[in-house]
Amino acid sequence: MSDYSDTTQPLLQGINDQARVTELSSEAVEELLAEEQPVSVGWWLRLVGWESKLLWYLSGASIVVSIFNFMLSLVTQMFTGHLGALELAGASIANVGIQGLAYGIMLGMASAVQTVCGQAYGAGKYASMGIVCQKAIILHLGASVILSFLYWYSGTVLRAIGQSDSIAAEGQIFAHGLLPQLYAFAIYCPMQRFLQSQNIVNPLAYISVGIFLVHILLTWLAVDVVGFGLLGAALTLSLSWWLLVIVTGLFILLSPSCKETWTGFSMKAFRGLWSYLKLTMASAVMLCLEIWFSQGLVLISGLLPNPTISLDSISICMNYLNWDMMFMLGLSTGASVRVGNELGAGKPKVARFSVIVVNVTSSLISIILSAFVMICHTALSEAFSSDDAVITAVSDLTPLLAISVLLNGIQPILSGVAIGSGWQALVAYVNLSTYYIIGLPIGCVLGFKTSLGVAGIWWGMIFGVFLQTVTLIILTARTNWSKEVEKAEERLKISADEEKLDLVDIA
């Protein structure tokens, strides 16, 4: 290795020139971080600035995509909330119990795209990425066909899990209107991960914002002007998601940015589906256990006395928590892409450094957002409902919401690191233990056996998330990143083997 001063001098010149900070290569940073000599505080700050700029380039647009795509559902729920408390309860229970179940499966399966494409992009295996995206879409559409029965018979399902006949009936109306959205989500999710894994994020953000603005107008026309009610709101949401799919698909097909990674539709996408399915199943289980936990607690709240108020209050708070989660998931996506790219490129020191920077950043943001929740708790309640009882119930839950927002500063980020590293199967066991063996029973006991009610159910969620976060911190801190590089290389070799995923030499 060259002399330390000889190595760092050109790096120092590159870092000091803030206009050219992104030109500092990962190779140079990897070499610097591998040096045994101590690095000064000034150097660390400059390296943090370099990593932060790369991270926010990816995360900034990903945050916009996550938030505005989520706000499609949020806006729809706001409009249904002003139709009445029963309509809001029906939309909330369908959104959580039916749509949430499907989302957990789809998002979980799509994280496999993020893992394989992210590492393939870092390794320079560009032509393989389009095939992986097509494989994912095929499997997602297959899952959608099965899940369609859940949507169509949603009223029966909701009554079977203890919901009242009136809430279940409204939930079924809303779920029927969301059925077209299920297929749109099945196509969009792999396409989104395909673009993000190759650092194409700004176009996704522009598309999401544009469709969101159109969605507000369409929902206002359908619900307030034409008066189509709950079904009209759901069908409008489905239409907006299909617009999202069409515009994103056209970008992939026509943009020069994808000419190396999208080489057209291929029958090779149907080869090795079973091997790819096994990877997606591990990913699906990991995220499903995570997503269904909070949604299951919302369903349980519908079994409490005065279920309409309980369900409305926890659903409103959960919407804000999900809003925060979307922000953190955008940051998590940036972290996942950074870690996956660097592991695929064989740079363990840079991958580890990226993990540290993103966790510090997200923790600081969560502190600010928690304070915002406490200050604006009344306004947050009134945005969803004009019912005084619901507003009071939501205000009572905001301290717990603030705690959950604070925990969200770490947990989603570490989950993103796990996806980028391919740890989905391990994290699935962690989620099962902390959420369902510990958190869920605690929530049920506090909610039904004490006077805490819906607050007790939320405390169960907090305990589960806290334990999961601590476990992920320990796992990440003990990670040997050099071995993770070896695992990434082996994963790509296995993926490229003969009839499996054909990730290499398919052009």
Q: What is the largest CA-CA distance in the chain?
A: 75
Mean pLDDT of 365-378: 82
- The predicted-structure confidence for 267-303, as pLDDT tens digits, reads as follows 777 776 776 777 677 667 776 777 777 767 776 776 7
Is 213 among the domain residues? Answer: yes
Q: Residue 20's pLDDT is what?
A: 38
For 208-251, write each residue's pLDDT tens digit.
999 999 999 999 998 888 888 888 889 999 999 999 999 999 99
pLDDT of residue 210: 95
pLDDT-based confidence at residue 25 (cuts at 50, 70, 90): low
Per-residue pLDDT averaged across 111-122, rounded? Answer: 76
344-368 average pLDDT score: 81
Residue 14 domain flag: no
User: Does residue 5 lie in a domain region?
Assistant: no
Separation CA 94–CA 197 (nearest Å): 31
* 381-395 pLDDT per residue, tens: 776 666 777 777 777
Residue 403 resides in a domain: yes
Structure confidence at residue 216 (pLDDT): 94
Between 64 and 284, residue with greater pLDDT: 64
Binned at pLDDT 50, 70 and 90, residue 503 comes out as: very low
Residue at 35 is within a domain? no
Q: Buried (b) or exposed (e) across 357-386, using 16+ Cβ within 10 A?
A: bbbebbeebbeebbeebeeebeebbeebbe
Q: Give CA–CA dist 92/311, Å, rounded.
A: 8
Q: How confident is the model at residue 495 (pLDDT cuts 50, 70, 90)?
A: low
Give a yes or no: residue 129 inside a domain.
yes
If one counts the domains in the chain, the total is: 1
- Taking the C-alpha atoms of residue 262 and residue 271, their distance in angstroms, rounded to an integer, is 17
Q: What is the structure's pLDDT at 242?
A: 96
Domain for residue 13, yes or no? Answer: no
Q: Kindly indicate the confidence band of residue 6, based on its pLDDT and cuts at 50, 70 and 90.
A: very low
Average per-residue pLDDT for the chain:
77
What span, in angstroms and rounded, lies between the C-alpha atoms of 118 and 46? 26
Residue 42 within a domain: no
CA R_g for the chain: 23
Residue 491: pLDDT over 60: no
pLDDT band at 53 (very low <50, low <70, confident <90, very high): confident
Domain span at 447? 48-495
